[in-house]
């Protein structure tokens, strides 16, 4: 019952945001970064992710799955794996990712940035689990399920490149950092956390790991709150797949 009420509220929020976006922000140029437009787009996507999770049964599976079992708490290997995953996420996103992220003098607004990152990570984590559950409907051994899920999760990079980094986030990369963040942050995250999921099936902890990762990203890039009026550097784009704009990273103008 509680889940149904929650999803009803999410659906109502989605409807309201959709009407506002269509009436006020449709056609807003990507070359001009407007925080309230970006937040509206982001929360529409968040709502859609929650609804997809609920509609596929993934949300109910996550809620039914115990966060931790008593047997796991007594298992040194599980404790080591879990601790290792959290250390990896902290180093990969709160240290390395943050170090390689240009912020263009954007201010720190910790509370809205943490809220944005937590909802972002929870939403994307649930979509990853939708892929994981989809891969489980086939009669594959666990390593086959891992491969299918990893390939599906990898499409998230295309989504980031063609939409999220173009229409939602401010500029937070250079051509160099775009490449090395994938190698040093995103790929290790998926390799290790997906393996952890395959071995122990702690879906709630998997969600927590992705929320921790993207909260680190939101705080590090200093996502502008929706109410600010200051100039925000928009993402630099170039024609990509099918001629669609994609994020290419900031290149300083030559003097």
Q: Has residue 255 got a pLDDT over 50? A: no
Average pLDDT over residues 247-253: 85
Contact 232, 35 (CB under 8 A): yes
Q: Would you say residue 158 lies in a domain?
A: yes
95-135, pLDDT tens digit by residue? 999 999 999 999 999 999 999 999 999 999 999 999 999 99
Predicted local distance difference test score (pLDDT) of residue 35: 96
Contact 41, 8 (CB under 8 A): no
Quote the crossing angle between the two packed helices 76-89 and 203-221, to the nearest 10°: 20
Q: Has residue 253 got a pLDDT over 80? A: no
Q: Has residue 243 got a pLDDT over 90? A: no
Average pLDDT over residues 152-177: 94
Mean pLDDT of the chain: 94
Q: Would you say residue 164 lies in a domain?
A: yes
Q: Would you say residue 255 lies in a domain?
A: no
Q: Would you say residue 252 lies in a domain?
A: no
Predicted local distance difference test score (pLDDT) of residue 1: 58
Q: How many CB atoms lie within 10 A of CB 80?
A: 10
Q: Would you say residue 154 lies in a domain?
A: yes
Q: Would you say residue 44 lies in a domain?
A: yes
38-79, pLDDT tens digit by residue? 999 999 999 999 999 999 999 999 999 899 999 999 999 999
What's the predicted TM-score (pTM) here? 0.94
Could you tell me the residue range of the domain that residue 160 belongs to? 2-247
Q: Would you say residue 254 lies in a domain?
A: no
Q: Is 220 exposed, middle or buried (0-12, 13-18, 19+ CB in 10 A)?
A: buried
Domain count, the chain: 1
Q: Has residue 177 got a pLDDT over 60? A: yes
Q: Has residue 254 got a pLDDT over 80? A: no
Q: Report the phi/psi class of residue 170: left, alpha or beta, with left for phi > 0 and alpha for psi in -120 to 50.
A: beta
Q: Would you say residue 243 lies in a domain?
A: yes
**Interatomic CA distance for residues 97 and 105, integer angstroms:** 17
**Interatomic CA distance for residues 207 and 123, integer angstroms:** 9
């Amino acid at each position: 019952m509680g889940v149904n009420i929650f999803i009803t509220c999410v659906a109502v929020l989605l409807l309201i945001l959709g009407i506002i976006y269509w009436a006020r922000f449709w056609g807003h140029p990507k070359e001009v970064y407007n925080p309230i437009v970006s937040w509206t787009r982001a929360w529409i996507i968040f709502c859609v992710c929650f609804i997809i999770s609920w509609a596929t049964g993934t949300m109910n599976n996550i809620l039914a799955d115990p966060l931790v079992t008593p047997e796991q708490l007594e298992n040194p290997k599980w404790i080591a794996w879990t601790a290792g995953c959290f250390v990896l996420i902290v180093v990969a996103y709160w240290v390395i990712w943050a170090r390689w992220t240009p912020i263009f003098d954007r201010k720190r607004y910790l509370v809205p940035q943490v809220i944005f990152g937590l909802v972002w990570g929870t939403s994307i984590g649930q979509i990853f689990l939708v892929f994981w559950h989809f891969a489980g409907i086939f009669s594959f051994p666990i390593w086959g399920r891992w491969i299918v899920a990893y390939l599906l999760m990898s499409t998230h990079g295309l989504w980031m490149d063609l939409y999220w980094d173009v229409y939602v986030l401010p500029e937070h990369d250079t051509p160099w950092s775009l490449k090395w963040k994938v190698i040093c942050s995103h790929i290790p995250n998926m390799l290790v956390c997906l393996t952890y999921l395959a071995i122990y099936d702690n879906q709630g902890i998997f969600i927590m790991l992705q929320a921790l990762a993207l909260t680190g990203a939101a705080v590090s890039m200093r996502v502008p709150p929706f109410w600010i009026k200051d100039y925000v550097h928009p993402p630099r784009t170039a024609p990509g797949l099918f001629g669609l704009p994609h994020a290419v990273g900031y290149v300083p103008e030559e003097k």
